């Protein structure tokens, strides 16, 4: 079952998801989701399935609205649009069309299929597939969603390294699209790689290594450049994470972190031409296990184990059991806040499709709790940087990444195939068992009772950035909440 549809439908769904989560007063009728936009009083309805779709506007009677009309209604509701907002949505819409037209036969490798399955992109972002204002011809040859693969570019130049870098001296691997954006040409071609779901991180199957590049293109909320600040943190984070993950793997066998080992760059273009070397996946995968991108499981691809699922409750219990306890342990036992959203987590499934391993990645989004003050002050030179967070802020981020931008979607994918399956009862049992075994941490106990969990407001963020305020999270119903209270 592939969830991919046409660009119109996908674009409307993303806007409806944003409205539903961030703006509207929501109610449901049989088959429909009703969205009342509080400022303008606009009344919308959408067909209610896995995703809301086919939006209609009430003007005495219901009549269909296009994705573009829906975007205009969003602007009316929220007030003067930030510069470029409607263009970004249109660009995202065209990008989906271009991807669908250029898509080739899926690769044989299931792991690659799962990484390259995100045609619709982030489902709760107004313009998920917009890639700056570049024409599709420039980026399509490097797009994961078309099943692209290409040789990495090599520059022969003076290089500087930090961390554990095992590359030939004087050679800098570069992303061909980044070179083109900088107006440079390659000196040679390197190994054949394929792009992962993040677009700017590619996998080299021969070396079993990932290369993460700077890509000066805005994708969802960020220009995907490797910033000096994040580069500086790569070696110290690797030092923190090695013992943390040794402990986590001892407690939860099969759990691994795909470590960013270090980076190489050239002094003349320190950020723009940096490359991060990340542990490959094969070295961490047990025999007989197939790693799959969590977000790929949610979106769907040919060979998705969810398509042949017979016991949804046992499957979801196994899924949550491999994914959740390691990140709770990283937080509570080690003060490490993992950005464990479903684009940063891979799940290993056994021959029957049951989850048995979890792999985490992405140093950049990781945060450290105050117990790491000495390191934070050391690396950030005594000035408070972005890496450290209070326990409350770290917990907010973890709940969003783990529950809202991960388990909610996997549960949705399971329930789309097995309507009515009480998957959240299974998830709750796993969280409750962790709490019981670890002295009932107050934050975790409150998560199990809270009516709401924090969701990142990707639509409102465009407006709040324009106004310079920092409201980033909105409340969203907590599916983990016990029904007995
Ligand atoms: N549900 C999702 N949540 C977050 N990002 C998503 C989601 N679906 C697709 N994406 C895409 O995945 C990427 C996530 O960004 P993130 O910062 O985690 O990764 P990255 O730093 O670019 O690369 P890597 O994950 O290899 O370290 C973005 O390109 C984003 O648009
Ligand atoms: Mg990521």
Q: Is residue 312 within 8 Å of residue 414, measured between CB atoms?
A: yes
CA of 124, closest atom in ligand 1:
1
Ligand at minimal distance from the CA of 220 is: 1
Q: From the alpha carbon of 128, which atom of ligand 1 is closest? A: 31
Ligand 1 atom at shortest distance from the alpha carbon of 210: 26
Pocket lining: 343 vs ligand 1, CB cutoff 6 Å: yes
pLDDT (0 to 100) of residue 483: 65
Give the start-to-end residue ranges of the domains of the chain. 7-82, 285-485
Q: Is 17 in the pocket of ligand 1 (CB under 6 A)?
A: no
Beta bridge partner(s), residue 162: 263
pLDDT at 133: 83
Give the number of residues written for the chain. Answer: 485
Give the per-residue pLDDT at 485. Answer: 39
What pLDDT is recorded for position 396?
Answer: 97
**Which tens digit of pLDDT belongs to each residue from 251-293?**
999 999 999 999 999 999 999 999 999 999 999 999 999 999 9
Asked if 3 and 50 count as a contact pair (C-beta separation under 8 A), the reply is yes
Task: Determine the distance from the C-alpha atom of residue 414 to the mean position of all C-alpha atoms in its chain, rounded to a whole number.
Answer: 19
For residue 202, the CA-to-ligand 2 centroid distance in Å is: 12
User: Does the C-beta of 363 come closer than 6 Å to ligand 1?
Assistant: no
pTM above 0.85, yes or no: yes
Q: How far apart are CA 294 and CA 463, in angstroms?
A: 30
Q: How far apart are CA 409 and CA 400, in angstroms?
A: 12
Q: Which residue has the tokens 């399955």?
A: 117
Closest ligand relative to 363 C-alpha: 1
Predicted pLDDT of residue 314 = 98
Q: How many whole angstroms from 271 Cα to the centroid of ligand 2?
A: 18
- Classified by CATH at the fold level, domain 285-485 comes out as Transferase(Phosphotransferase); domain 1 (1.10.510)
> From atom 4 of ligand 1, which residue's Cα is the shortest distance away?
343
The pLDDT of residue 484: 47
Q: What DSSP character marks residue 28?
A: E
The atom number, within ligand 1, closest to the CA of 122 reads 8
Consecutive 10-residue averages of pLDDT for the chain (485 residues) = 75 98 96 97 96 97 98 97 96 97 96 98 97 93 97 98 96 98 98 98 98 96 95 97 97 97 98 98 98 98 97 98 98 98 98 98 96 96 91 97 98 97 98 98 98 97 76 91 65
């Amino acid at each position: 079952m592939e969830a991919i549809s046409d660009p119109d439908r996908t674009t409307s769904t993303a806007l409806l998801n944003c409205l539903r989560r961030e703006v509207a007063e929501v109610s449901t009728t049989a088959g429909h989701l009703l969205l009342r936009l509080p400022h303008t009083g606009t009344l919308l309805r959408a067909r209610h399935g896995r995703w809301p779709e086919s939006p209609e506007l009430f003007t005495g009677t219901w009549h269909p609205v296009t994705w573009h009309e829906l975007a205009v209604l969003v602007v009316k509701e929220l007030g003067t649009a930030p510069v470029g907002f409607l263009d970004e949505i249109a660009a995202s819409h065209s990008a989906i069309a271009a991807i669908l037209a250029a898509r080739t036969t899926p690769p044989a490798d299931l792991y690659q299929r799962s990484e390259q399955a995100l045609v619709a992109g982030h489902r709760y972002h107004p313009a998920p597939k917009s890639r700056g204002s570049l024409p599709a011809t420039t980026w399509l040859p490097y797009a994961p969603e078309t099943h692209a693969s290409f040789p990495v570019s090599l520059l022969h130049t003076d290089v500087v390294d930090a961390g554990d870098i095992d590359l030939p001296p004087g050679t800098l691997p570069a992303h061909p699209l980044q070179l083109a954006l900088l107006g440079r040409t390659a000196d040679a071609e390197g190994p054949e790689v394929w792009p992962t779901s993040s677009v700017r991180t590619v996998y080299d199957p021969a070396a079993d290594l990932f290369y993460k590049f700077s890509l000066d293109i805005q994708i969802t909320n960020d220009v995907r450049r490797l910033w000096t600040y994040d580069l500086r943190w790569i070696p110290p984070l690797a030092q923190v994470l090695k013992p943390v993950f040794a402990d986590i793997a001892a407690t939860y066998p099969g759990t691994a972190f795909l470590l960013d080992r270090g980076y190489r760059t050239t002094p003349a273009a320190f950020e723009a031409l940096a490359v991060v070397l990340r542990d490959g996946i094969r070295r961490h995968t047990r025999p007989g296990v197939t790693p799959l991108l969590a977000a790929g499981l949610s979106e769907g691809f040919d060979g998705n184990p969810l398509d042949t699922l017979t016991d949804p409750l046992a499957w979801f219990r196994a899924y949550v059991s491999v994914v959740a306890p390691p990140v709770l342990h990283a937080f509570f036992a080690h003060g490490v806040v993992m950005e464990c959203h479903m684009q940063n987590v891979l799940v290993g499934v056994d021959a029957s499709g049951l989850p048995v391993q979890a792999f985490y990645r992405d140093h950049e989004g990781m945060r450290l709790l105050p117990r790491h003050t000495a390191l934070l002050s050391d690396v950030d030179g005594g000035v408070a940087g972005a890496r450290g967070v209070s326990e409350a802020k770290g917990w907010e981020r973890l709940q969003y990444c783990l529950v809202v931008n991960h388990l909610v979607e996997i549960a949705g994918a399971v329930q789309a195939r097995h309507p009515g399956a009480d998957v959240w009862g299974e998830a709750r049992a796993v969280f409750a068992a962790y709490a019981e075994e670890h002295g009932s941490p107050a934050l975790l106990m409150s998560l199990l009772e809270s009516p709401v969990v924090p969701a990142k407001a990707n639509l409102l963020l465009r407006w709040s950035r324009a106004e310079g305020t920092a409201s980033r999270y909105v409340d969203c119903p907590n599916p983990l909440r016990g029904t007995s209270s």
